[in-house]
Amino acid sequence: MSFTLSQAAKEVGKAKSSLFKAIKNGKMSALKNEEGQYQIDPAELYRVFPCEQKNEQARTEENNGKTTLLEEKVKYLEREIGRLERTETDLREDRDHWRRQATALLTHQQPEQSAVQDQGQVQEKKKGIFAKLFG
């Protein structure tokens, strides 16, 4: 299998004139067929013009696919971070609410309990020793 000048130019991503100059300068060998068209051996073509263009295009397409995937992952993670931040805010608000409620309950009970205890001690003091012993 061999390439024509046009096919070879497309294959390596170069202009036909660049390949023609390489043939004329002796950098690349090519045969002419009966119709006067150049027949270029693929091994000769890739020796002079390495297939970096195709590899570069393949890498670019692969990187574009990876970039798109990474962008989607970043968007997903940003949404997750937002959701977690909202959840954290809600939990902090709940915690603060319950802390305030517990503090309010404790502060209201302590005076009542101490008042009941104080009244009990006063009543015990008022009772004499006989009342304490005999009920």
Residue 4 and residue 33: Cα distance in Å, rounded? 10
Residue 4 and residue 39: Cα distance in Å, rounded? 5
Is the pLDDT assigned to residue 92 strictly greater than 80? yes
Confidence of residue 111 (pLDDT cuts 50, 70, 90): very low
The residue-averaged pLDDT of 46-50 equals: 86
The tokens describing 12, both together, are 């390596």
Q: What is the mean pLDDT of the chain?
A: 81
Q: What 8-state DSSP symbol labels residue 41?
A: -
Q: Would you list the domain boundaries of the chain?
A: 5-50, 51-101
- Buried b / exposed e along 44-64 (16+ C-beta atoms within 10 A): bbeebbeeeeeeeeeeeeeee
Confidence of residue 36 (pLDDT cuts 50, 70, 90): confident
Residue 70 and residue 62: Cα distance in Å, rounded? 12
Neighbours of 5 (CB within 10 A): 17
**32 pairs with which residues across the strands?**
38
Residue 11 and residue 42: Cα distance in Å, rounded? 9
